[in-house]
Structure 1
Amino acid sequence: MPSSCDPKHAPAGDVGTALMAIDSRLKAIYDGKAGTHAEQQQLSEQFAASLGPDEADDLLDGACTLIYMFMRWLRMAYEDHDRDVIEYVVPSFVASMRMMPKSIRPEVIPTMTGLVVAAGTGLSPSLWRKQYGDWTGGEMNALEATALLLAEHINRLTEDRDFATRMISDALSSASQRP
């Protein structure tokens, strides 16, 4: 039976801008400049304030598309080793989220975990989330952290700090070259 959360029904959103934000955060972490959190947060808030409602929705959909693509890659990678992606990704993901109490409110962790599980089972994270109403302000940092943590997980598995970003960039390039 087809699901209303099938990714083919989901808008891709602004994947390029979402990827740029994640790549910027990853580079700051890898370069040891993650301590400039206040400055980074201020820039993020200024950028978010400059977006209109449609642009903000596109960015949210883009972040969800990243989460879906990252989980799809992780699912295939773990299945190649006869492992379950949910079993190997979700516990460390939840533990990492819980270690960020200043940025991630505890009450949004179940929602982000649901997004990861939805994506890991082949559902669209954005359509899965829309079943439960509009996004909340408290979920914005957590959504970005979700995409960031999944990208970092991929980079650790591949032992390549740019793998997750490059994978999405290559997919975007391939998609734009199709007639």
Structure 2
Amino acid sequence: MPSPCDPEYAPAGDVGAALMVIDSRLKAVYDGSTGTDPEQRRLVEQYAASLGPEGGQDLLDGACTLIYMFMRWLRMACEDHGKDVIASVVPDLVASLRMMRRSVPPEAIPTMVGLVVAAGTGLSPSLWRQQYGDWTDAEMNPLEATAFLLAERINRITDDRAFATTMVGRALSSAEQG
């Protein structure tokens, strides 16, 4: 019996916009920026505000789709080396999120871990989260941080600072062509 959290039932959301946010964060970190550029943060906030309620939900679903895609890639990479993706990813993710005290409240960490575990076991993170009600404002930064940390982990594994975003960009391009 298929799960109600099966990815085939999940909305993909605005993956392109979510990818743009994560890509800009990765570039800021790789360029050695300390903190978030206020102008960049203002532009992202202005863009998010312009989306309206439906667009905001699309951006959330897009971020969850990124998490799913990143965890799918990580799962395949771990399996190639005889490792379990959950055991390989979750402890480091929790440690990193705990260090982000200003952006990630401790009470949001279990939800982010749940999203990652759902994705790592082949479930839709957005449908998994939907079971527990609406997203909260306190979960927005942790969601972004989770997607960022997974992308950064992929980039470190591949020794390519653009691998994660390029991988998703290629998948989006091939989906549009097909």
TM-score relative to the length of structure 2: 0.97
Matching residue's letter, 2:161: R
AA matched with 2:21:
A
Paired position in structure 1 for 2:52 = 52
CA distance in 2, matches of 1:79, 1:102: 34
Aligned to 2:62: 62
The sequence identity of aligned pairs, in percent, is: 74
Whether 2:14 is the aligned partner of 1:14: answer yes
How is 1:117-136 mapped onto 2 (pairs within 5 angstroms)?
A: 117-136=117-136
Pairwise CA RMSD:
1.0
Secondary structure of the 1:51 match is helix
Contiguous gaps of at least 5 residues in structure 1: none
User: Match of 2:133, SS?
Assistant: coil
* Structure 2 CA distance for aligned equivalents of residues 18 and 36 of structure 1: 17
Distance 1:137 1:119 in 2: 22
Question: CA–CA distance in 1 between the matches of 2:174 and 2:51?
Answer: 27
Q: Post-superposition, which runs of at least 4 consecutive aligned residues in structure 1 deviate over 6 A?
A: none
Amino acid aligned to 1:99:
M
Distance 2:44 2:139 in 1: 14
Distance 1:153 1:20, change over 3 A: same
Q: Relative to structure 1, is the Cα distance of residues 130 and 121 closer, same or farther in structure 2, using a 3 angstrom cutoff? A: same
Distance 2:44 2:117 in 1: 27
Q: Using the alignment, how far apart are the partners of 1:139 and 1:158 within structure 2?
A: 29
Q: Which residue pairs with 1:102 in the alignment?
A: 102
Q: Which residue of 2 aligns with 1:77?
A: 77
Determine the C-alpha separation between the residues in 1 that align with 2:101 and 2:43.
21
Task: Look up the match of 1:23.
Answer: 23
Aligned length: 178
CA distance in 1, matches of 2:17, 2:92: 26
Residues 39 and 98 (structure 1), Cα distance of their counterparts in 2 relative to 1, 3 Å cut? farther
AA aligned to 1:65 is T
- The change in CA–CA distance for 1:2 and 1:41 in structure 2 (over 3 A counts) is same
In structure 2, the gaps of 5 or more residues are none
